[in-house]
């Protein structure tokens, strides 16, 4: 494999050496002096297009001698035209931010860019004001929280109950959020260490079609990008019902002279507390601290460095069975076991060097490190197994994560054909100490140790991506990714029921993932695309070593046929028909109990997103998603995929004038879905509305957030679980649920300076 990889590099190097660059420059933000990525540069009158890279750099080959002007445009910035003679005098162009408007959005001939126009307008118009909205910004995603914000949300997308990230990849600034072989579940992705106000933009994709995305990228991925610079300092305070409050501060640490040298450094911190709406007070506490530096080290090299620390502690009401509420044993917001809850903390360091090479290529080198701790107490079955002490379990781990991402990109030509080459490698090493699963009484009395050991997992993944612009209309992207995994488990439990005894167990595996994506750009208002590829999700090391590495990287095959269409200047639409096959799928009973479903699955469906801006201050958005999922080789009627969403929708109206009153009214809808394989149990759907009202002045903004405006009684998460309550002689299999928030108000005041 290595021989073929380096042979490919040699061929690519020979091809791209034909590149000639004579119209080249950089685009920066006029307020922060930071580079702008994804800016569209159009040569006039030839209408040739280039897109700026991560350092705001663009280039064209030297055949465009008839060029009179350069037209610079980017979502959220004023369009600017500059004569070629003025450009030659100063090859760095600063453009001014402006109100986002759909009329400024064009459907760009840029492979893999189909979601960007909607994503950027959503963030600018709707904003991200809380940790729940961090994930809801991705069209089609439904999330559920059943520890009141204390642990990662349950993620639903394209007919997947992706648990906490098993089939959905999450990254922030190129650093992985998902945890492999986690104490609570494979792919556990807790994004609560991200302060919402620090998010600048979000890249997302659906399906396994991106060569740079590997493990867990089956249903899709999201990559959060934090701000490189602050335009203003911010202090904010929030106070809400159920004894809820939050304090936030964000400050620049460098002066104007540093900004002129393209340097920025800021710090942000938040603290949250809430008892929440449960009968059993949650006593939820969370602290976040984040800092980021971005600066130019030399004419061609930039350094980006960030660090964050996060701590959270809470009590939880857990999942309760329907019969406990129906019989009046507890209320709708009550708890069976008052001793559930946990504590978790994570510290990250992330450093990236970006270098523009003499040939116009871009080289990125990134190192990251995480230290994470997790301690969770849950009880899914109550007194099913232990009728005296109960079935509470404790899941613990202490983790060190070290990784490297390297990437080289180059834009060149072979004859008249434009080539965009990306060559990269991802290396990740996880090591946990005393990963454990134990049966406990109350919280800290251990009755029985079920798992105890150290996990070591190393993955190395080179990848290649070549985008060929055949003409002004047709682009082809070919990708290839190779993932190699090395697993090791040091078992410390003599009576582990899955392994022969104390000792070190090893297993290795690898997989090859090809991608083929076709984009047809009709004009600046219409694009069609056909994306396809193979992906995978890995399995827990503790399960991998038991099978000696056999069938531990189940494949996912998918395809999308879609379009991006702008029928008028203030409407943009994205629609896609999609298909995905998964070689092996896990659905866990009670979110941590026994595996209740394990098999091959097939899903088909469609996604639709529409955005409409009738006037500059009014923004209307709607997403509608349908998924039809079934297990393969199962009897008809017993082939439903438990908890897989079928119909989902979200949307809203946002009013945002330059000053004065502004706000939004939003809804989210989830239809009924199967609770188990034969649909004898139903996970009931819901329709929830939320409202935001703000009053904005020059420096001060007053806010009111209302969750669940109609005070709907709804179930946020649901599971098919066999349980026994204290005193019951026989267990019962039924839906267990965590209630969603009732009507809740929160006020805030923010000061910018």
How confident is the model over 279-301, as pLDDT tens digits? 999 999 999 999 999 998 888 89
Distance CA 100, CA 122 (A): 9
pLDDT at res. 586: 61
Q: Which of 63-72, 167-176, 435-444 has the lowest mean pLDDT?
A: 63-72
How confident is the model over 711-750, as pLDDT tens digits? 999 999 999 999 999 999 999 999 999 999 999 999 999 9
Give the pTM: 0.91
Write the CATH number for 36: 2.60.40.1120
DSSP string, 35-70: B-TT-EEEEETTTEEEE--TTSEEEE-TT-TT--EE
Last residue of a domain, one of 43, 65, 98: 98
Q: Are residues 136 and 211 in the same domain?
A: yes
Encoding tokens for residue 568? 């008028």
How confident is the model over 596-636, as pLDDT tens digits? 456 899 999 999 999 999 998 999 999 999 999 999 989 99
Q: Are residues 440 and 579 in the same domain?
A: yes
Please indicate, yes or no, if residue 32 is contained in any of the structural domains: yes
Handedness of CA 300, 55, 23, 31 (dihedral sign): negative
Residue 591 pLDDT > 60, yes or no?
no
Task: Annotate 655-682 with three-state secondary structure.
Answer: ECCCCEEEEEEEEEEECCEECCCCCCCE
Please indicate, yes or no, if residue 377 is contained in any of the structural domains: yes
DSSP string, 123-143: HHHH---SHHHHHHTSTT-EE
Q: Are residues 530 and 642 in the same domain?
A: yes
Q: Which of 201, 222, 204, 229 is nearest to 304 (CA)?
A: 229
Residue 268 pLDDT > 80, yes or no?
yes
What does the buried/exposed string (b/e) look like for 406-438 if buried means 16 or more CB atoms within 10 Å of the residue's CB? ebbbbbbbeeeebbbbbbbebebebebeebbbb
pLDDT at res. 597: 54
pLDDT at res. 492: 96
**Mean pLDDT, rounded, of the chain:** 89
Please indicate, yes or no, if residue 660 is contained in any of the structural domains: yes
Q: Are residues 228 and 334 in the same domain?
A: yes
Q: Which of 42-51, 107-116, 428-437, 530-539 has the lowest mean pLDDT?
A: 107-116
Q: Are residues 73 and 125 in the same domain?
A: no
**pLDDT over 90 percentage in the chain:** 65
CA angle 537, 123, 119 (to 5 degrees): 50
Residue 7 pLDDT > 70, yes or no?
no
pLDDT at res. 130: 64
Distance CA 198, CA 250 (A): 9
| Whether the Cβ atoms of residue 69 and residue 83 lie closer than 8 Å to each other | yes
Task: Kindly state the helix (H) or strand (E) to which residue 88 belongs, with its residue range.
Answer: helix 84-89
Q: What is the DSSP letter of 184?
A: S
pLDDT at res. 564: 93
pLDDT at res. 89: 59
pLDDT at res. 16: 43
Q: Are residues 479 and 567 in the same domain?
A: yes
Q: Are residues 185 and 257 in the same domain?
A: yes
What does the buried/exposed string (b/e) look like for 377-391 if buried means 16 or more CB atoms within 10 Å of the residue's CB? bbbbbbbbebeeebb
Q: Are residues 153 and 21 in the same domain?
A: no
Task: Kindly state the helix (H) or strand (E) to which residue 84 belongs, with its residue range.
Answer: helix 84-89
Among 201-210, 355-364, 367-376, 521-530, top mean pLDDT goes to 367-376
pLDDT at res. 86: 74
Q: Residue range 485-505: average pLDDT?
A: 94
Please indicate, yes or no, if residue 10 is contained in any of the structural domains: yes
Please indicate, yes or no, if residue 106 is contained in any of the structural domains: no
pLDDT band at 13 (very low <50, low <70, confident <90, very high): very low
Q: Are residues 71 and 126 in the same domain?
A: no
Domain that includes residue 689, residue range: 116-752
pLDDT band at 27 (very low <50, low <70, confident <90, very high): confident
Please indicate, yes or no, if residue 486 is contained in any of the structural domains: yes
pLDDT band at 63 (very low <50, low <70, confident <90, very high): low
pLDDT at res. 432: 97
Q: Are residues 153 and 82 in the same domain?
A: no
pLDDT at res. 135: 82
pLDDT at res. 148: 62
Write the CATH number for 355: 2.40.170.20
pLDDT at res. 9: 44
How many domains does the structure of the chain reveal? 2
Q: Are residues 211 and 71 in the same domain?
A: no
Q: Are residues 94 and 172 in the same domain?
A: no
Residue 229 has φ and ψ, to the nearest 5°, of: -155, 150
Last residue of a domain, one of 52, 67, 98: 98
Residue 8 pLDDT > 70, yes or no?
no
| Whether the Cβ atoms of residue 584 and residue 543 lie closer than 8 Å to each other | no
| Whether the Cβ atoms of residue 694 and residue 663 lie closer than 8 Å to each other | yes
Distance CA 236, CA 251 (A): 12
Please indicate, yes or no, if residue 498 is contained in any of the structural domains: yes
pLDDT at res. 11: 42
Please indicate, yes or no, if residue 109 is contained in any of the structural domains: no
């Amino acid at each position: 494999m290595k021989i073929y990889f380096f042979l490919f590099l040699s061929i690519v190097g020979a091809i791209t050496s034909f590149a000639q660059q004579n119209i080249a420059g950089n685009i920066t933000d006029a307020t922060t002096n930071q580079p702008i990525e994804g800016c569209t540069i159009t040569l006039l009158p030839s209408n040739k297009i280039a897109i700026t890279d991560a350092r705001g750099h663009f280039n064209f080959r030297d055949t465009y001698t008839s060029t009179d002007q350069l037209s610079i445009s980017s979502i959220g910035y004023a369009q600017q035209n500059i004569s070629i003679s003025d450009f030659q005098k100063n090859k760095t162009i600063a453009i001014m931010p402006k109100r986002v408007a759909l009329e400024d959005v064009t459907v760009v001939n840029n492979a893999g860019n189909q979601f960007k126009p909607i994503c950027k307008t959503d963030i600018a118009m709707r904003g991200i004001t809380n940790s729940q909205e961090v994930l809801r910004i991705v069209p089609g995603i439904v999330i559920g929280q059943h520890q009141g914000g204390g642990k990662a949300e349950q993620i639903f997308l394209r007919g997947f109950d992706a648990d906490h990230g098993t089939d959905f990849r999450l990254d922030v600034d190129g650093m992985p959020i998902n945890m492999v072989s986690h104490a609570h579940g494979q792919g556990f992705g807790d994004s609560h260490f991200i302060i919402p106000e620090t998010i600048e933009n979000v890249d997302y994709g659906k399906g396994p079609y991106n060569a740079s995305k590997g493990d867990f990228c089956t249903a899709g991925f999201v990559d959060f990008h934090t701000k490189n610079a602050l335009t203003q300092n911010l202090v904010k305070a929030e106070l809400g019902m159920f004894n809820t409050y939050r304090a936030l501060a964000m400050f620049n640490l460098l002066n104007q002279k540093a900004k002129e040298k393209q340097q920025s450094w800021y710090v942000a911190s938040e603290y949250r507390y809430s008892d929440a709406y449960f009968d059993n007070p949650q006593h939820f506490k969370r602290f976040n601290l984040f800092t980021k530096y971005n600066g130019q080290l030399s004419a061609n090299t930039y350094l980006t460095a960030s660090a964050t620390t996060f701590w959270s502690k809470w009590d939880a009401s857990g999942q309760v069975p329907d019969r406990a509420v129906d019989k009046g044993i507890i209320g709708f917001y009550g708890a069976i076991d008052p001793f559930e809850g946990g504590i978790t903390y994570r510290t990250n360091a992330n450093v990236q060097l970006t270098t523009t090479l003499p040939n116009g290529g871009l080289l990125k080198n990134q190192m990251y490190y995480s230290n994470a701790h997790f301690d969770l107490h849950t009880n899914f079955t109550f007194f099913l197994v232990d009728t005296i002490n109960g079935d509470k379990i404790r899941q613990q781990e202490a983790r060190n994560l070290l990784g490297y991402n390297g990437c080289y990109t180059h834009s060149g030509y072979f004859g008249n054909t434009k080539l965009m080459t990306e060559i990269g490698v991802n290396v990740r090493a996880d090591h946990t100490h005393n990963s454990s699963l134990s049966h406990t009484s109350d919280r800290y009395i251990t009755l029985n140790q079920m798992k105890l050991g150290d996990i070591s997992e190393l993955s190395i993944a080179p990848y290649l991506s070549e985008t060929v612009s055949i003409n002004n209309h047709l682009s082809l992207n070919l990708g290839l990714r190779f993932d190699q995994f090395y697993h090791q488990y040091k078992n410390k439990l003599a009576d582990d029921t899955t392994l022969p005894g104390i000792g070190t167990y090893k297993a290795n595996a690898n997989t090859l993932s090809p991608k083929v994506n076709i984009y047809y750009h009709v004009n600046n208002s219409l694009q069609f695309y056909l994306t396809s590829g193979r992906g995978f999700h890995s399995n827990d090391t503790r399960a991998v070593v038991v099978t000696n590495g056999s069938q531990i990287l189940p494949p996912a095959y998918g395809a999308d046929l879609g379009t991006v269409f702008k029928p008028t200047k203030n409407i943009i639409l994205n629609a896609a028909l999609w298909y995905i096959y998964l070689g092996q799928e896990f659905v866990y009973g009670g979110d941590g109990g026994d595996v209740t479903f394990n098999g091959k699955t097939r899903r088909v469906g469609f996604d639709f997103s529409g955005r409409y801006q009738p006037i500059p201050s009014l923004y209307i958005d709607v997403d509608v998603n349908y998924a039809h999922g079934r297990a393969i080789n199962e009897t008809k009627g017993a082939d439903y995929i438990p908890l897989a969403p079928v119909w989902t929708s979200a949307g809203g109206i946002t009013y945002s004038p330059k000053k004065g009153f502004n706000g939004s009214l939003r809804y989210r809808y989830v239809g009924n879905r199967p609770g188990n394989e034969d649909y004898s149990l139903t996970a009931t759907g819901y329709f929830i509305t939320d409202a935001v009202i703000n009053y904005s002045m020059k420096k001060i903004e007053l806010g009111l957030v209302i969750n669940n405006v109609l005070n709907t009684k709804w179930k946020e998460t649901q599971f098919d679980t066999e349980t026994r309550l204290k005193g019951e002689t026989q267990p019962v299999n039924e839906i267990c649920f965590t209630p969603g928030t009732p009507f809740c108000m929160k006020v805030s005041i923010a000061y910018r300076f």
